[in-house]
Amino acid sequence: MRLSRLFGRTLRQLPPRVDPWTALALRAAIARLVDDQVVLLPLGERILARLATSLRSISPEAQAVILPPGFPEQELGRVLQAEIQSYRQLPVTLLARHAVRFSGLPKGLARPEWCTALQWAVASASEDELINFGRRWLESVDAWWSLVGLAPQRLEWQPGCPGWMQVVEAGPEELLTCHGCGYAASQAAARFERQPVPSEALEEMNLVSTPGADTIRDLAHMLSIPESKTIKAVFMTADDGRLVFAVLRGDLEISISKLVHATKCLSLRPAIEEEIRAWGAEPGYASPVGLKRVVDPVEQGLIIIGDPSIDQGTNFVAGANKPDFHFQGVNFPRDFSVDVIADIAAAREGDNCLECGKPLVANNGMYLGCWKPSLVSIQYANEDGRDREGYVGLGTLLLEPILAALLAVHHDDQGIIWPARVAPYDVHIVEIRCSEEAVVVSRELEATGLSVLFDDRKVSPGVKFTDADLIGCPLRITVSRRSLKNGGVELSIRGEEDRQIIPLEGIGDIISTRITEIM
The answer to whether 378 and 389 have CB atoms below 8 angstroms apart is: yes
CB within 8 A of 47, min separation 6: which ones? 30, 403, 422, 423, 424
CB nearer to Zn ion: pick between 76 and 353? 353
CB nearer to Zn ion: pick between 186 and 480? 186
CB nearer to Zn ion: pick between 194 and 428? 194
CB nearer to Zn ion: pick between 333 and 357? 357
- At its nearest, how many Å lie between Zn ion and the CB of residue 351? 11
- At its nearest, how many Å lie between Zn ion and the CB of residue 347? 12
180 binds Zn ion (CB under 5 A): yes
- At its nearest, how many Å lie between Zn ion and the CB of residue 180? 4
CB nearer to Zn ion: pick between 187 and 230? 187
- At its nearest, how many Å lie between Zn ion and the CB of residue 157? 18
Number of residues that bind Zn ion (CB under 5 A): 8
- At its nearest, how many Å lie between Zn ion and the CB of residue 162? 17
Angle, vertex CA 58, rays to CA 52 and CA 62, nearest 5: 85
Spatial separation of the C-alpha atoms in residues 258 and 269, rounded to whole Å: 14
Report the amino acid identity of residue 431: E
The answer to whether 193 and 357 have CB atoms below 8 angstroms apart is: yes
- At its nearest, how many Å lie between Zn ion and the CB of residue 352? 8
CB nearer to Zn ion: pick between 185 and 231? 185
Stretch that binds Zn ion, among 108-116, 171-179, 206-214, 249-257 (CB under 5 A): 171-179
- Cα–Cα separations (whole angstroms), residue 239 to 266, 268, 313, 437, 470: 6, 6, 33, 65, 47
- At its nearest, how many Å lie between Zn ion and the CB of residue 163? 18
- At its nearest, how many Å lie between Zn ion and the CB of residue 357? 7
Stretch that binds Zn ion, among 179-187, 378-386, 415-423, 482-490 (CB under 5 A): 179-187
The answer to whether 63 and 92 have CB atoms below 8 angstroms apart is: yes
143 binds Zn ion (CB under 5 A): no
Spatial separation of the C-alpha atoms in residues 351 and 355, rounded to whole Å: 12
The b/e string for 109-132 (b: 16+ C-beta within 10 A; e otherwise) is bbbbbebbbbbbbbbbbeeebbee
Long-range contacts at 11-18 (CB < 8 A, ≥ 24 apart): 18/108
- At its nearest, how many Å lie between Zn ion and the CB of residue 358? 5
14 binds Zn ion (CB under 5 A): no
CB nearer to Zn ion: pick between 185 and 406? 185
Spatial separation of the C-alpha atoms in residues 171 and 152, rounded to whole Å: 13
190 binds Zn ion (CB under 5 A): no
Please report, as residue ranges, which positions from 338 to 377 form the binding site for Zn ion (by CB under 5 A): 353, 355-356, 358
Any idea how long the chain is? 519
Could you tell me the end-to-end alpha-carbon distance of the chain, in angstroms, rounded to an integer? 22
The answer to whether 471 and 424 have CB atoms below 8 angstroms apart is: yes
**Pairing relationship of beta strands 316-319 and 352-353 according to DSSP bridges:** unpaired
CB nearer to Zn ion: pick between 347 and 502? 347
Nearest Cα residue to 113 out of 63, 39, 58: 39
CB nearer to Zn ion: pick between 135 and 358? 358
Q: Pick from 120, 144, 164, 183 the residue near Zn ion by CB under 5 A.
A: 183
Spatial separation of the C-alpha atoms in residues 18 and 33, rounded to whole Å: 10
CB nearer to Zn ion: pick between 189 and 302? 189
CB within 8 A of 42, min separation 6: which ones? 6, 7, 8
CB within 8 A of 455, min separation 6: which ones? 3, 428, 429, 430, 431, 464, 467, 468
CB nearer to Zn ion: pick between 149 and 359? 359
CB nearer to Zn ion: pick between 181 and 202? 181
Stretch that binds Zn ion, among 7-15, 79-87, 177-185, 301-309 (CB under 5 A): 177-185
- At its nearest, how many Å lie between Zn ion and the CB of residue 360? 8
Stretch that binds Zn ion, among 145-153, 180-188, 213-221, 368-376 (CB under 5 A): 180-188
Spatial separation of the C-alpha atoms in residues 307 and 286, rounded to whole Å: 16
Q: Pick from 94, 178, 423, 511 the residue near Zn ion by CB under 5 A.
A: 178
CB nearer to Zn ion: pick between 354 and 438? 354
- Give the H or E element holding residue 417: none
The answer to whether 389 and 195 have CB atoms below 8 angstroms apart is: no
181 binds Zn ion (CB under 5 A): yes
- At its nearest, how many Å lie between Zn ion and the CB of residue 176? 10
- At its nearest, how many Å lie between Zn ion and the CB of residue 177? 9
- At its nearest, how many Å lie between Zn ion and the CB of residue 359? 9
- Cα–Cα separations (whole angstroms), residue 78 to 71, 81, 84, 377: 12, 5, 10, 10
DSSP codes joined into one string, 222-258: HHT--GGGBEEEEEEEETTS-EEEEEEETTS-B-HHH
Stretch that binds Zn ion, among 114-122, 170-178, 189-197, 402-410 (CB under 5 A): 170-178
Kindly list the residues in this chain that would bind Zn ion in the complex (CB under 5 A). 178, 180-181, 183, 353, 355-356, 358
